[in-house]
Structure 1
Amino acid sequence: MMNTILRHIKIVACITVLCSSCSTIDYDDTNENPNGPTSAVTSQLLTNALTSIPDIVVDETPILYMQHITEGQYPGASRYSGLTYSYDGWYTGALQDLNEIIAINSDPETAEDVAVYGANANQIATAKIIRAYFLQYMTDRWGALPWSEAFMGIDNPQPKFDTQESLYDFMFAEIEDVLATIDHSASGPSGDILFAGDMDRWEAFANNLKMTMALRISDVNPSLAKTKFEETVASGLLVMDNADNIEYHYGTDDASDSPWMDNFRTREDYILSRTMVESLRDNMDPRLFEFAVPARDSISTITNFPGGIDAEYVGAPNGNVNGNVPSYSFIASEIIYEPDYPSPIYTAAQIKFALAEASMKGWNVNGDAATFYEEAISASMEYWGVEATDIQSYITAHPYAGIATIAYEKWVALYLNGPEAWAEWRRLDAPALTPSSYANDPRIPVRHAYDASISDNNAANYQEMIQFQGPDNLHTKLWWDVN
């Protein structure tokens, strides 16, 4: 009995000692990483958001729709097989990063802390410009989107869809705000992998984005389009020379290299479309030899160039199972094999074709349509390394003749810039592209449908969206696509 009592006394004593010892230990920082940030690092948020730009400039699906390229033995998008597409990654990724940058720099309680990463006004301006750029890509892809009620988390898990018109109004307002608040006397944002904090370049980006948006709505709201477009011309900040092209520059390591190199690292899925190759061949366009490389295992039965120098350039049927890919031309070697070959965002050719169309509409753009048209072709060919004599010969043989010539040449000049080529083709309904005969539904899509989860998880707002936008399929035209 005595031994049992003594054991119980010892146990109680030990517990007492342990409890009293615990009360003197401070655990507050046990789970804190002494090497990690204790508040948001806006420079890292900006860098992370900017790394989503390649998802736009190298979006293969619209490039395939536009028949610049097609697929090898595994045709999918070339046959328009994708029926629904999710936008979730944009909301939980890049857009969320940009929203956080804006919020932190706008809040007096946190703005001072993050000023070390660049002037607050310039961090906000940069985030708003990129956010508008991402949003334009998204709305030109899906149409209506959750926006004014989005990003509220559990406070509103079922946001309404805003019309595409209201989204364009929002983007114009954002750009106007940015252009009024950029502070060129203060530091630009840290973490800026696009322009290294150069706010002059960001102001130019904003104006070129605004110009693109203005032309996009020119058929549905011509008065607003004219006003906004002419404002960008007056700014003097449009890309008018290849030296000023706005491009995304990649790194040379696996984490930051070009998506094209990743696409071709272990497989060869993409080859030149017959549509593109034969269009260039028919027009004796010297860009044929710059866009592509000779096929390895076949030659064309049709040649147009002197001496048959185009015989080795062979395009594949769109949507066919083109299993023997060496029988067709690949994309230019430097694009698919150089890890840091840049992707264009806005180019002189693109902008000058826009100016040509605006002049044709009678807008005040300080030039005539024919001159801008010729300068646009020259800019495109110079960008691709075509000789000056060949450029002049081509322009002489293909003079300006109205919107059809602008539409065709713009389609060529936007080679591999899928989202812009797709949007402009939908707006202009030109050039005429023949849908793949191998598709179950032989119609080139004019939008993307929402992921199926939307109709399940946000049913009431989804149905309301269908009422004002139309059926949720690949063939309902967007707000600005009225032709």
Structure 2
Amino acid sequence: MKKILHYSLLFLFMAVAVSCEKGLSDLNVNKTNPTGLDPALLLNQGIINTSFPVKSLVFDVGIVQQMVTPNGGVLAGANFNQDSRDVTTQPLWTAYYQSVIKNTSDALARAKENTARSNMYQMARIYQSYVFMILTDEFGDIPYTEGGAGMTGHVLFPKYDRQQDIYPKIIQELTDAAAALNPAGIIETGDLLYAGDVAKWKKFAYSLLLRAGMRLIKVDAAKAQSAVQAAVAGGVITSNADNAYIRHDANFTQPIGGTLNGPEAANFYLTKPFVDQLKNTNDPRLQAIAIRYVGATSGAEQTVAVGSTDPTKQIGMPIGKDNGTIGASATADGLPSFYGYSQVDRRRIVKISSPVFLVTAAQTNLLLAEARLKGWVTTGTAEQYFAEGIRAHMDQMVVYDPNSAVSAAARDTYVAANPLVAGSELQQINTQYWIASFLNGPEAFANFRRSGFPALTPNPYGQPNNPDVPNGTFIRRLTYPTSELSVNTENLNKAITNQGPDKLSTRVWWDKP
């Protein structure tokens, strides 16, 4: 009887203990905390963080001679033909891998598990392909296959893929994802780029496919033609209503706009090649873009009262000048100081709320003009695509600010006065692409290397003894960040062995003379 009582009490004690532990366990469960992130939120985070970082202004925009600064230090880069990997290249690499690629990879993993959200999965594939294209165009060989596997696959030291292996994969991703988008499926209305509009996402994907195909003209003409024709058959962006661009506001500020309205407001200037191109052709976009603070001798004197948007008064800063030499150039140009050179108008097109354009009708129409010349497009004419590209960019200016709008009359007068001329088509088309890609540094830099136009004079700074950029040449790529050199050394060294020296002058695979 005592044994029975003993076992009964023991059983009761164990039951109470288990019950208490269960209760304590339940107390530790947060019933209001989500168990998983919506992939739409992850994709949106990736989109927002794609806005081109300030260091793209220092290198990409400077390499293609649209804006430069005569100041060194943390701003040293393209204008000095100087490699500044620690303070310049790392932000783009870090921002894209640690934020954009991380978020799109996570979105892909989560959306793939939910077959009902197939459209979200395809959208993330398309967007990630776009970002990988920027990364490989900027640096060459990069982590692609394992580039987004840090969180999902716990790959801490990703291997580098060769660019010649990356591009076919990007082309395949864009092709498959565009085809799989389904207007009858769930429409992801929370998407920041197109509010889930499947038709617009398809055009975005096919426009990227067109862009990717044109990159390969010099290295794989057959693959290039195939990609271009598939893109055109799928339907590309030819109207500004379908442009892919990132919106900004007081909470999500435009990076370059924030800098040019803040600490570097008086440090960046439109270049002489860019201003002269617009000024000498009576291009109405000069008045939409530029401002010159007449008579300014300091940043403090760059006030609205002395600001002029009159195109006849704009004067571009010569490239390759530093603080020791820019003064003489300003004097020769009739200015009291370099603060009187023309700048991009930070109160209109580079506000903190200004949009960042990724892929536009202007760019796509101009690529179609070139593809039509090659016979890869059989509809329309090169002349029509060329004219439509110019019109689209001029019409796009109003999105920055109503005061940057180009009138229809001014637009049509310019188009009529600047037709496509036999024998100079490639130069004309790609010079217009340069203008249409203003403030999209990575794309302007990539297309300049691909096409060789506009016909710019190499930056003379530091020549002829510059170890990074040989005399009479241009910067051809950005160098890898120090973090990769010190942490992912083995994989990075393999990439350098394959691609060539980790220098600004080393060409990426598709960039052939």
Task: Tell me how far 1:174 sits from its aligned partner.
Answer: 1.0
- The match for 2:313 is 312
TM-score under structure 2 length normalisation: 0.79
- The match for 2:260 is 264
Task: Tell me how far 1:73 sits from its aligned partner.
Answer: 3.9
- The match for 2:303 is none
Task: Tell me how far 1:209 sits from its aligned partner.
Answer: 0.9
Deviations 1:209-249 (A, max 9, x none): 111111111221111111111122122x3221223322221
CA RMSD of aligned residues (A): 2.9
1:475 is paired with a residue of what secondary structure? coil
Q: Is the 8 A contact 1:189 1:197 kept in 2?
A: yes
1:344 is paired with a residue of what secondary structure? strand
1:106 aligns with 2:112: yes
Task: Tell me how far 1:135 sits from its aligned partner.
Answer: 0.3
Distance change (3 Å), C-alpha of 1:456 and 1:349: same
Deviates more, 1:197-206 or 1:418-427: 197-206
Q: Is the 8 A contact 1:271 1:316 kept in 2?
A: yes
| Alignment partners' CA distance in 1, 2:311 and 2:128 | 43
**RCO higher in 1 or 2 (8 Å CA, sep ≥ 6)?**
1
After TM superposition, list the pairs within 5 Å mapping 1:75-94 onto structure 2: 75-77=75-77, 78-84=79-85, 85-86=89-90, 87-94=93-100
| Alignment partners' CA distance in 1, 2:295 and 2:146 | 55
- The match for 1:353 is 366
| Alignment partners' CA distance in 1, 2:44 and 2:28 | 27
- The match for 1:471 is 501
Task: Tell me how far 1:144 sits from its aligned partner.
Answer: 0.7
Q: Is the 8 A contact 2:101 2:148 kept in 1?
A: no
Task: Tell me how far 1:403 sits from its aligned partner.
Answer: 0.9
After TM superposition, list the pairs within 5 Å mapping 1:226-375 onto structure 2: 226-235=225-234, 237-251=235-249, 253=250, 255-267=251-263, 268=265, 269-297=267-295, 310-319=311-320, 320-321=322-323, 326-336=339-349, 338-375=351-388
After TM superposition, list the pairs within 5 Å mapping 1:311-460 onto structure 2: 311-319=312-320, 320-321=322-323, 326-336=339-349, 338-384=351-397, 385-400=405-420, 401-439=424-462, 441=466, 443-460=473-490
| Alignment partners' CA distance in 2, 1:139 and 1:337 | 27
2:344 is paired with a residue of what secondary structure? coil
- The match for 2:67 is 69
| Alignment partners' CA distance in 1, 2:280 and 2:352 | 32
| Alignment partners' CA distance in 1, 2:193 and 2:70 | 33
After TM superposition, list the pairs within 5 Å mapping 1:181-200 onto structure 2: 181-189=180-188, 191-200=190-199
| Alignment partners' CA distance in 2, 1:382 and 1:169 | 34
| Alignment partners' CA distance in 2, 1:58 and 1:347 | 22
**Consecutive unaligned residues in structure 1, runs of 5 or more:** 1-19, 113-118, 300-307
- The match for 1:16 is none
| Alignment partners' CA distance in 1, 2:242 and 2:257 | 25
2:245 is paired with a residue of what secondary structure? strand
| Alignment partners' CA distance in 1, 2:340 and 2:131 | 37
1:435 is paired with a residue of what secondary structure? coil
Q: Is the 8 A contact 1:264 1:336 kept in 2?
A: no
- The match for 1:131 is 128
Q: Is the 8 A contact 2:344 2:350 kept in 1?
A: no
Q: Is the 8 A contact 1:46 1:191 kept in 2?
A: no
Work out the percentage of aligned pairs sharing the same amino acid: 27
Deviates more, 1:88-97 or 1:138-147: 88-97
Q: Is the 8 A contact 1:58 1:418 kept in 2?
A: no
1:294 is paired with a residue of what secondary structure? strand
Distance change (3 Å), C-alpha of 1:287 and 1:265: closer
- The match for 1:55 is 52
| Alignment partners' CA distance in 2, 1:103 and 1:162 | 21
Deviations 1:128-157 (A, max 9, x none): 011001100000011111222444558654
| Alignment partners' CA distance in 2, 1:333 and 1:464 | 43
Amino acid at match of 1:348: A
Out of 145, 148, 156, which is 1:148 matched to? Answer: 145
1:345 is paired with a residue of what secondary structure? strand
Deviates more, 1:270-279 or 1:257-266: 257-266
Task: Tell me how far 1:470 sits from its aligned partner.
Answer: 1.2
Deviates more, 1:394-403 or 1:418-427: 394-403
